[in-house]
Amino acid sequence: MVKYVFLTQDFYNDYITCTEIEQKNNRPYIMIITTIGNIDFAIPLRSNINHGHVVWTDQGNKCGLDLTKSIVITDKNRYIDNATKPHIRPNEFKELKGKEYVITQKLTQYINLYKKSLTKKHLHNNALLCQYSTLQYFHKELGIN
């Protein structure tokens, strides 16, 4: 299930020191309900994406779901703003419609790549992936020691 949501100020307050998490509380996130370890993820819609860890919604304008900035929703009641409805550009909405499976698969692949990269951080590309990924703040939830 894909749900377009905003995150609450509580979320931003709780993760204020996590520099790789987008601190723009008016940015819509996509809430992905998956069976990936029974963990709920939110993936931001972003523009000017310059890497390949993305589900494109408008590749020509470099817009899409930025998997590198995925976050774990540890408290749906406190972190999801159900009162405010985000506006999604029609072309991006159309691109994402019916793509729940693809989004879940790509997120799963990205999580696996992140975990693998952690084991070989001495390699430059792996170090960069780990440094800029928001998954670094959710090792406990992802079962990473």
Q: Where are the domains of the chain?
A: 2-142
Of 72 and 33, the one with more pLDDT: 72
In the predicted model, is pLDDT for residue 50 greater than 60?
Answer: yes
Identify the CA nearest to 62 among candidates 92, 90, 86, 87: 92
State the average pLDDT over residues 96-122: 95
Q: Is the pTM of this model over 0.85?
A: yes
pLDDT of residue 85: 84
Question: Does the domain at residues 2-142 carry the CATH identifier 3.40.190.10?
Answer: no
**Mean pLDDT confidence for 83-87:** 86
Average pLDDT, the chain: 91
Axis-axis angle for helices 100-118, 124-132 (nearest 10): 120
d(CA 139, CA 80): 21
Q: Given the structure tokens 């993820």, which residue do they identify?
A: 41
